[in-house]
Structure 1
């Protein structure tokens, strides 16, 4: 059944691929690797931009690392977390799958944050240029996030066995593979001289804003962008495309399709760190909603599916201008009502994670909880306009962009009314649900 559904979706995506593009030489397949704790869905808008510039869908592959969070000690197994060697093994298998699928002997790879580590390791210790033509590392903490002795062998420690092995030579690049790094000027929370992200914000880290750079690589600075934006922003896409394609992209915008087809996986946040392992028995509904009020349109959802062993919840066909509500009812998780703006193009990485558990106080309050979240970047104050229900969230502080989620708690009397959530020019309207029913709402930004 899994093979049949996957084949059907790929067929639908192929039919929706752009037509009329000028004939070009074969384009290298591109592998996309997410960062610590993340999943393939973060590359969705980047994939759309590559497709809008004529890159065939079957030559683009965004992967899910099963246990995306790093261990506290890279050498010590830890439930639900992965070590550096495991990440490289997984990436090597994904790279071989992409080469086999496309018939190309060499591929390009793009990684965000931790996702750059296995790309470097693959190039340096798994054959280098023989299989990897380009390596693009976006916000990867190549010199570590800190150098603290009490967590000396955590993967992000500058003195970890892993980073000392990667950084111990006279150069950081590998013959036969072209390397590009993209970093912020000073707005990357994990490339800072002091640990502003920690409970000890004044503690020196031993690194600085230029920590993502590599000796021997092409190193570019994208001023003002944050830790995730240096991978997922349109400015980052332009540099990625130019480096791999050898030319400017024809467009930085996303070209809409007439009937986007959406699919993805439901994965777990239960009982520990978030993973990308599929959830069986989750019920997913997809509703069309009014963009101004989040009111459901129609008496029945567009789609309802109970996930099997593969975790797949789709596919569903939508229009490129529809606002949507995804309802994810997964065993032992809160029922999550995820409100999202339109999907202009097809995607098979619309992965759904239920929201965090509600606290006892939240469930007993009689009201509701709404999370405003930006998966592909952070909220920067005063760089960005961030408004939830007409107010700037009080937890957002000026300075380096550090938070990707804001929380609104509503009393019972205000449940069910529209709540506008604004990030610059992007707007998502959501509705809060009763926390007493173990329900939580999420307004999720696309861009």
Structure 2
């Protein structure tokens, strides 16, 4: 999806945002490509958060009922992030439970009042009460103390198999081992033999570099996320010392991205930690540190960043980032550069990153989260460097 962010008002065009109709059309096109490439007659669709809106819309209104065998929605706000009028939030948002989009999707489909469209098999996966977008209080939408009209069961759908997993957060409804186990059993009829990632001896990595704004190559076009490829990015990969985070030598891989933003293939060594050094005009020079990769992946995406004006005088900037989940001091054992909890991480699993600005010469910086340990280094912000310690789990 080129522009993954939703419009504030689904009925009005907004730069860098997509409508529900555009989202559905993109999904429909991708499904047709997969069916043509594989020869399959149907697909299984699994969507997290807003992705579930597109799945529901496609199945109900875009002909997807004949193309989809199973639909799994992780943390999708099926009855809204808010379901009553709240000043400052649009009643025409696709996330407004009382708005036209969700009201249309949730119309009863039969005498039993089912909200799902047959003959597709449906599953929802939700948290018991730890999903930031299924809360009775408007804290995480900037409306602390305001009743949202939504409860913890908002992601459930009548007529679906509704699974509740205690304490998982909004992203973990799709990306956690528990969610994988539930989805696997729903599709196959039996539980997985294991939820532990089985390591491979030959690990090949590839991915894309994406940018920001309406146009990735135009810094004046905005700083919001997009999924557009960034051409002309220099990707270098370095093996690093597992304790100090220092480079062990010259780059073990290097490439400048073309029009498709793609990098790779890169053959990684098991149990080796790497720094992904990525630079491009108009962006900060990123230094992304990861845990060793246990298996091959075609989806090692690097989203470029820019240093905010307020941070340009910082000695260095290091971000602890958890793209596949949130940070919850009440649930998780974690530390960032020795600080527990990481700065900015507050109760409620609503924050996915923490930022520090270490002074002094470059040194090792460590991010720890529930047993995962990522080691990196800080770089001088004055020279437009920015470090990201990205958690995999």
TM-score over 0.5 for the alignment? yes
Shift of 1:68: 0.4
| Equivalent of residue 218 in structure 1, options 141, 153, 161 | 161
Q: Contact 2:343 / 2:356 at 8 angstroms: preserved in 1?
A: no
Q: Contact 1:188 / 1:401 at 8 angstroms: preserved in 2?
A: yes
Q: Contact 1:128 / 1:175 at 8 angstroms: preserved in 2?
A: no
Shift of 1:250: 1.5
Query: Normalized against structure 2, the TM-score is what?
Result: 0.93
Structure 1 unaligned residues grouped into runs of 5+: 1-64
| Equivalent of residue 289 in structure 1, options 218, 233, 240 | 240
Matched, 1:338 2:288: yes
Matched, 1:76 2:12: yes
| Equivalent of residue 425 in structure 1, options 371, 374, 377 | 371
What value does the CA root-mean-square deviation take over the aligned residues?
A: 1.2
Counterpart position of 1:352: 302
Q: Determine helix, strand or coil for the equivalent of 2:71.
A: strand
| Equivalent of residue 165 in structure 1, options 79, 104, 107 | 104
Q: Contact 2:116 / 2:122 at 8 angstroms: preserved in 1?
A: yes
Matched, 1:279 2:279: no
Shift of 1:128: 4.3
Shift of 1:328: 1.2
CA distance in 2 between counterparts of 1:214 and 1:288 reads 47
Matched, 1:302 2:302: no
Counterpart position of 2:58: 122
Q: Determine helix, strand or coil for the equivalent of 1:91.
A: helix
CA distance in 2 between counterparts of 1:160 and 1:282 reads 41
| Equivalent of residue 376 in structure 1, options 312, 324, 328 | 324
CA distance in 2 between counterparts of 1:97 and 1:305 reads 29
Counterpart position of 2:271: 321
Shift of 1:361: 4.3
Matched, 1:440 2:386: yes
| Equivalent of residue 99 in structure 1, options 32, 35, 47 | 35
Counterpart position of 2:337: 389
Q: Determine helix, strand or coil for the equivalent of 1:277.
A: strand
Structure-to-structure mapping, 1:92-241, within 5 angstroms: 92-146=28-82, 147-148=84-85, 150-169=89-108, 170-241=113-184
Shift of 1:97: 1.1
CA distance in 1 between counterparts of 2:282 and 2:100 reads 38
Shift of 1:240: 0.6
Structure 2 unaligned residues grouped into runs of 5+: 214-221
Query: Normalized against structure 1, the TM-score is what?
Result: 0.82
Q: Contact 2:345 / 2:353 at 8 angstroms: preserved in 1?
A: no
Q: 1:131 to 1:359 in 2, by over 3 A?
A: closer
Shift of 1:294: 0.8
Q: Contact 1:81 / 1:273 at 8 angstroms: preserved in 2?
A: no
Q: Contact 1:320 / 1:342 at 8 angstroms: preserved in 2?
A: yes
CA distance in 2 between counterparts of 1:323 and 1:237 reads 26
